[in-house]
Each structure stands twice: as structure tokens, then as C-alpha cells.
Amino acid sequence: MDQDIKDSIAADTPEKAFALLSSVTQDPVFTVRDDLYEFSLLLDAVKLRRKQKTNSRFRLVDSGALSLTQVEWLAAEGADVYTSDEAGKNVQELESIQNACMKGNTLLAYLHSAALENDEAPSLGLAGLKSLGASGVYIYLSNKDSERNLSDVIFLADLCQRAQSHLVYFHHKELDAALFELGQAGAWLHISDKNIKSPDEMPLLTDIIRSARASGTNVIIHVEKGTEFLLLEDLQKAGAVLIFKSALIDFRSPLRPLEEKTKKQKLDADAYYLYPIFL
């Protein structure tokens, strides 16, 4: 370990410093929340990571514990920043972090849970998200708790794609033909098999998968209800990524062969917010 790093962590708890710096050099994707360590130790960890793991990722979860300057510093040194509307940052602050990410060749991921109609702080509205999308921020949206106008989401996805990032959309309603356009616009799409009401919807879903794959992204099917094997197999053959609810799978499950194939598919870490779960 470099002497300057050794010296700078002396003021921190030795056990915490050792645990952090040991983990950061071992895990291929390292994720840490901003309120778990002092800024100086986080900065040392990012620098150490960049020196030793050039192709790996350091993901900082922004809860608002650090100052804007500190978050920018970590981003410029090599930390991907994962933030959300709950952290309460406005458009200007987020764009400032994005500028630091561009300098550090990192990314800013922004999860938005509130309604899009409100442009007042602390929530960003549609205009704010458009600005972020155009600047290259990765935007994550769900319609689980807030209704989404898919025309607006398609527009945002297109802005992100043009800025060489992506919009990731978690769909919790019935299938909609507009999801085909959303796939064309370069969005990653998360869909639960609970929303596949009939085998008659399979052609539409297959078309959505193909539209996303043609734009360089994909559809992630969350298998939660145990859909018929042949239908899931068809979706997998179309190129979709299947993620199985753990309770559905054991060594006797007929879905086991599909799960084994899924393990061989590489899912881009940008295709989900922190973890491949269904938000």
C-alpha cells in the first residue's frame, strides 16, 4: 500500500480502514454508502481502487451525508455516484456532479420516484430530468408508486441515448404497445411476468425485446409467479434476460435449466439501479 494512503488513514479507526481498503481491492464491483466512512477514507479507497482495478467499479451511494464538493471530488477520482430524489439535490447540483463524472470517466445514476409534474424542490420534474438526460446522466424510473406518461419516458430515453447514457424503466402495469417505442429509444426495460396476462401477449413482448436489443439494450423479465416453462423459454430465445425469484427455484424446479442459461448471460451493471431487483 502506498505510504501516502497509510498516513492519511491514521486518524480513522484502524479496523474500519483495514476492512474498507481490503474489500475495495477484492470485489469486482464495490458499493459503499457515503455515511459509513469519513470522506478522507472514502477518497483513499477510490484512489487505491483506481490504481489496482482499472476495469472495475467503485459505486458511491449518495444519501446527502457529504458536501457537494466532496461528492464531486470522489466522482472525479473514480467513483460512480448513485443518487436519488430522496437525497434532495437540485438540477444544478446534479449537473455539477455529472461534470465531475465526465472528468473521472465515471457515471452519475439518478433514481427518480416522485411524480414528474412537480418542478419544485426537492423533487425534480420533467424539465429537470430532460436537462439531466441531455447531459448524460443515467436515469432510473418506475411506475410502481407514481404514474408515468410513456410519451415523456420515451422522450427522456431518447435524450439519454443521444448523450451516450441510458434510461432504465421498471414497468409494473399491464403491457403497453408504447414499450416497443421505449425499447427503440434505447431504454433498458424491466417487466414482471405477473404482467403477462395471456399467451396472446407474447408476440408484443417479443417485439419489445427485439426493439430494445436492436438499440443496444434489452428487456429483463422478473419471474415472480412461475410462468409456464415454454413461454419463458421463448422469451429467453428472443434474447431477454430472465431473473428468477429465489423462492421459485430449487434443485427440482422445472425452471432450473432456464436459470442456468441466465447465469451465462452478462447483464450490464447499468441496466439496474445498484442491484438487479424489481423496483
pLDDT of residue 222: 93
pLDDT of residue 12: 61
82 φ, ψ (degrees, to nearest 5)? -110, 115
pLDDT of residue 8: 41
How much is the pTM?
0.89
Question: What are the residue ranges of CATH 3.80.10 in the chain?
Answer: 1-136
244 φ, ψ (degrees, to nearest 5)? -95, 135
Query: What's the full length of the chain, in residues?
Result: 279
Write the DSSP string, 117-165.
S--STTS--HHHHHHHHHTT-EEEEESSSS---HHHHHHHHHHHHHTT-
**Could you report the per-residue pLDDT of 37-69, keeping only the tens digit for each?**
999 999 999 998 888 766 778 999 999 999 999
The CATH number of the domain covering residues in 140-279? 3.20.20
183 in Cβ contact with 202 (< 8 Å)? no
pLDDT of residue 121: 47
The CATH number of the domain covering residues in 1-136? 3.80.10
pLDDT of residue 13: 73
Of 55, 49, 129, 56, nearest to 89 by C-alpha is 129
Question: What are the residue ranges of CATH 3.20.20 in the chain?
Answer: 140-279
Number of Cβ atoms within 10 Å of the Cβ of 259: 16
**Could you report the per-residue pLDDT of 97-127, keeping only the tens digit for each?**
999 999 999 999 999 998 887 555 445 889 9
Which residues of the chain are under the pLDDT cut of 50?
1-11, 121-122
Write the DSSP string, 210-279.
HHHHHTT--EEEEE-S---HHHHHHHHHHTPEEEE-GGG--TT-TTHHHHHHHHHSPPPGGGSSSSS---
pLDDT of residue 141: 97
Residues 155, 152: Cα–Cα separation, whole Å: 5
